[in-house]
Copies of this chain bind each other. A is one copy, B any other.
Amino acid sequence: MTLAIYPGSFDPVTKGHMDVLKRASRIFDKVIIAVLNNHEKEPFMSMEDKLNLIQVAVADANLSNVEVDCFDGLTVEYAKKKNAKVLIRGLRAVSDFEYEMQLAQMNQNLDKSIETVFLTTKPNYNFISSRSVKEAVRLGGDVSQLVPKNVNEYLIKRCKA
């Protein structure tokens, strides 16, 4: 059985992330989408909110072999603890690609037994990033095409608050 980890900040999770997750869930026996607890930068959303939103989005998408989790520290350490041999990363653009290659090779250097596998999204999700979603929301833009339904409702509520 192949277990794959899909690590990220998911601040917030977008339709691009969900598309990568769905593809991964069709390829691997089990996938854990794992939210990194980055103590260095202040996130837009709390870990609790992130996990709740992803849980609902995963349920809405009927991804039955997907588990939601969070972790601290090195991604490869977390993967080892979970007995996962695959890390999933989504690729959108060339700038992504180079950063991701460096990350994959760094992780290989830290632990040779763990492979990074890259998936692409549907072309019309290629331009979505958590950062641009947050920026659009902050300025009152409609992001319903960019994030799962429940994430959109959360963002509208937070904007009004």
Quick one: copies of this chain in the complex? 6
Judged by a CB distance under 8 angstroms, whether A23 is at the interface is yes
Contacts of A93 in B (CB 8 A): 98, 101-102
Nearest-CB residue, chain B, relative to A91: B118
**Neighbour of A73 across the interface among B74, B109, B119, B139, CB < 8 A:** B139
**CB of A129 within 8 Å of the partner chain:** yes
Q: How large is the interface on A (under 10, 10 to 19, 20 to 34, 35 or more residues)?
A: 35 or more
Q: Which residues of A72-100 are within 8 A (CB) of B? A: 73-74, 76-77, 85-86, 91, 93-95, 97-99
* Interface residue ranges, A against B (CB under 8 Å): 2, 23, 26-28, 40, 73-74, 76-77, 85-86, 91, 93-95, 97-99, 101-106, 108-110, 115-120, 122-129, 132, 136, 138-142, 145-146
